Amino acid sequence: MSRNPRVYSAMALAAALAVTSAAAPALAEPAATGTPSAYIVTLAGQPLATYGGGVDGLAATKPGKGKKVDTVSAGAKRYREHLTKRQDETARSVGATAQRHNSVASNSFVAELTPAQALKLHRTGGVVSVVQDTLRKALDDRNSSDFLGLSGDKGIWASLGGTAKAGKGIVVGVIDTGVWPENPSFAGPALGTEAPTAADPYRPYRQGTATVMKKADGSTFTGLCETGTEFTADLCNQKLVSARYFGKAWLKDNDPAATGEYASPRDRGGHGSHTAGTAAGNHAVPATANGIDFGQISGVAPGAAVSVYKALWEGPDGGTGYTSDIIEAIDQAVADGVDVINYSVGGSTESSTDDPVQLAFLAAADAGIFVATAGGNSGPDASTLDNTAPWTTTVAASTVAPYLADVRLGDGSTFRGASTTVSAPFGPNPLATSVSVKNAAASDSDAQICAEGSLDPAKAAGKVIYCVRGVTPRVDKSAEVKRAGGVGMVLGNPSDQDTGADVHAVPTVHINTPDTEKVLAYAATPGATVTLLPASSTEGAEYPQVASFSSRGPSLSNNGDLIKPDIAAPGVSILAAVAPPGNQGKDFDFYSGTSMATPHIAGLAALYLGTDPLLSPAAVKSAMMTTAYDTKTPDLFAQGSGHVDPARMLKPGLVYDAAAQDWYGYLEGLGVKTGTGAAPVATSDLNYPSIAVGALFGSRTVTRKVTALTPGVYHAAVDLPGIKTKVKPSTLVFKKAGETKEFTVSMEMTRQTGGDAIVGSLTWQGKNTAVRSPVMVTPLSAKAPAEVKGAGSNGSLTFDVTPGVSKFPVKTYGPVSADPVPGTVNPSDIWGKEVSVVVPEGAKAVSFKLIPGDPETEVGAILGYTEGGAQQGLAWVTSWEDYRAVLANPRPGKYTLFVLTFGSAETPFSTQINVVGADSGSGALTVTPDKPKVTPGTAFPLTATWSGQPDRTATGYIEYPNEAGTIVTIN
């Protein structure tokens, strides 16, 4: 459980496709013709933070227990030079230049590459991943600290000795959009030059231009208050101990003045200030907005110090940052010696296992740093999570007691919604639809959403305006109402969505469907009036619930064998510090998102480490997960282990610990060659505080280890309906703290087992302690090859299939054999030649094949999928992958092969894309038997037969129950 780091090695390419393809490349919008794009290339050598030795003449640089990374010693400089030299050599091997180097948490470099150069590096030994430098986006009781039980005479802060000691000696690093240092949440005494005394050992001080702070774990934090636009060194203090900015990639493509941004750590949009203030802002800060007094607020760990790493920048789409800038920020945070990293950044699709940000976080966790990551705001659809690596804590957003108000119409009907701006009865006032008071030059669609300049002051003055949610920010709508002389607003959702308690420019109530239709219809009647009333109670409001926007599992990269998210925390209508320029002059505002939930977990980790600073990140995560409770949305793919419970978190009894070798084994189990010598570990067997088996067939036994923080006797109780289970041993006896014991959980399907996912729990019950782990298993209908291959115009092949269910119909589709399409590609085609296909809904399989036309010149391709107007990389298609990629049950949509040449002249090629659709049945592919009589768990031979196939590749699909199947490739 020590935070002492272990050996780290960057990872080799991971399998991303079920059959033939290696790790997926990252694609952005194609660059202009002839212009290379920036790529991040990660190499298979250990970075400085985790290098344990092994290179002749270069001593280990990983820190010892309770020590930070030494980046300035002679040995560290020699090893960094070794890494940099290797990075430069790798770039030069394809005719490129390494422009930026990372070596502390990530062994990677940034270079401008053509896609052909990227393909060559993908095929170069010692290269882990080649990922295009893409933009990443900051994710967008009523007081969350009260709701979590932190405040009060019997709260967590009091039990830790008061707010000043809650997180004392801990540094929380925040990678985000910067900080507004003048906000009182970050106020603190000035930094002096005298070293701290024994009475106040964790007081930070200046040493030259650096900020130095001894930490609770015995190591030393060394930061810097980096100067820049409207940011001077004296803005840092004993609370805000360090502030840096990272924007080489962003600033190269953007003019800060055009967006009002600051080329400094200063925050413009407010996201970074909000997350930093939530995690570790000062205690009892008076918070007012638009003249409304919301009382006092506090960060979760008010005694902790804050170190800011600005790597996201304000633009038209909010806070965004390039991967290369984010990696540099992580690199620096590890070098500085933070204890916790908050990363409220994510996407609507899951990061791959070779994603350089996730690998950098592995190094950070290995160095003893707790990393809290946002799950994403793309819910409630399934499999929309991001940041699902097991070495980070993935956070879902939950609700707290809402701010409510009522909309009372002139006809007497009343509707309840969210509001922070109705503190007293307001009205009655005339009520009008926004379209009825629109500017003559404005379109109905603009007026409907109260877009800027769309309302006519002559018509809107003195009225409450009904505006529709969407397109423009919610607070901008009320600003438009105020500009036009309106006195209030009713904001209506056009579909079932969450409601937000924003601080609006005029008194506002935000309502949801089906109430919106009724209010809108009434507002269109002559003489309509409305009164806005503060709600007398929160009666009927169920909380905590997982917010509808919070991204859901299952994690696709983990094949259902790891439950993500890990935990839920408050993330709806959270009041915290913001930056006035991006928030209509406000110093504080309500934000919602998993971005807001994540710093609650980061702050709680700081509290825990303040009491036990050498506890490992995995042990802290385990303590949170096994003491959580169910939300009102008890779906494991929504809430993970449940809602964090700070009081119980500090006394978990047992913890599921893990370290570098566990994570390397996990990666090896996924097919990633780490070069560490770690034995492969099935994801289900990773020592994790939850248990998941994504494909239970027959029986399965998983192994776990628990370490006692509180010695005693613990008895196992498992609840998994429809599954025969056994825990062995079922009783664990710990005589002292620190003891570790191993146990197994066996799960066996019965005749009563259905085909749907089964949810349950395993609880170790001790004296006054319950250590609870959620369990999820998904019964598998069949065990069969993912792909089988045959040859000939007519032919057959036989393979074994083992059924998991008693009714086992088998259906065939295809085969399909499209005509190859010839083409040529020139080295000057920077993004190659595009060959696209639209895969329809319900397709069973698709095969992409690249056929070189010149045996003397090699070609290659990148397979991409178009999502939201951008390209998502799926696979490399080169000679290493047998020039093909095959997908079973593909997502519908547009797929594109970007074909490139490695030669120096025009190169011929052909492509063949076989799409096996749902209407491809009753073809020349048949199976015997097609309605077999089976016994679950007993294999039987299945024969596939085809006829009349052309002398080129054909693709078919054999489907079993519950969408399982086998791809058939002929010729």
Q: Which two tokens stand for residue 59?
A: 């001593």
Q: Across-strand partners of 394?
A: 373
Beta strands 811-816 and 954-959: pairing type? Answer: antiparallel
Cis peptide before 380 (omega within 30 of 0): yes
> What is the spatial distance between Cα 877 and Cα 861, in angstroms, rounded to a whole number?
5
The answer for residues whose C-beta is within 8 angstroms of residue 5's C-beta and 6 or more apart is 49, 50, 62, 63, 366, 367, 368, 660
What DSSP designation does 500 have?
A: -
Which residue has 């230049």 as its token pair? 97
User: How far is 159 from 147, CA to CA, in rounded Å?
Assistant: 16
According to DSSP, residue 639 is labeled: H
Select which of 133, 176, 339, 446 is catalytic.
Answer: 176
Q: What is the total residue count of the chain? A: 971
In contact, 934 and 806? CB cutoff 8 Å = yes
Cα distances from 341 to residues 50, 51, 686, 711, 765, in angstroms, run 17, 21, 23, 31, 32
Calpha distance 816→956 (Å, rounded): 6
Q: Determine the Cα–Cα distance for residues 559 and 695; give it in Å rounded to an integer.
A: 8
Kindly write down the DSSP assignment for every residue of 359-417, as one continuous string. HHHHHHHHTT-EEEEE--S-TTSTT------TTSEEEEEE--SPPEEEEEETTS-EEEE
Neighbour count for residue 420 (Cβ, 10 Å): 26
Residue showing tokens 């180097």: 101
| CA dihedral sign, ordered 91, 94, 95, 96 | negative
Among 871, 868, 862, 866, smallest CA distance to 837 is for 866
- Specify whether 271 is catalytic: yes
CA distance 967 to 971: 13
Crossing angle of the two packed helices 356-366 and 660-669, in degrees rounded to 10: 150
- Of 129, 595, 616, 781, catalytic: 595
Is 176 one of the catalytic residues? yes
Q: How far apart are CA 961 and CA 396, in angstroms?
A: 33
**Which residue is listed with tokens 């650096």?**
210
State the DSSP string of 724-762: EEEEESSEEEESSTT-EEEEEEEEEE-TT--SS-EEEEE
Angstrom distances, CA of residue 267 to CA of 177, 263, 283, 943: 6, 10, 21, 65
Catalytic residue among 133, 145, 271, 910: 271
Please say if 806 is a catalytic residue.
no
Helix, strand, coil shares of the chain as percentages rounded to 5? 20, 35, 45
Active centre residues (catalytic): 176, 271, 595
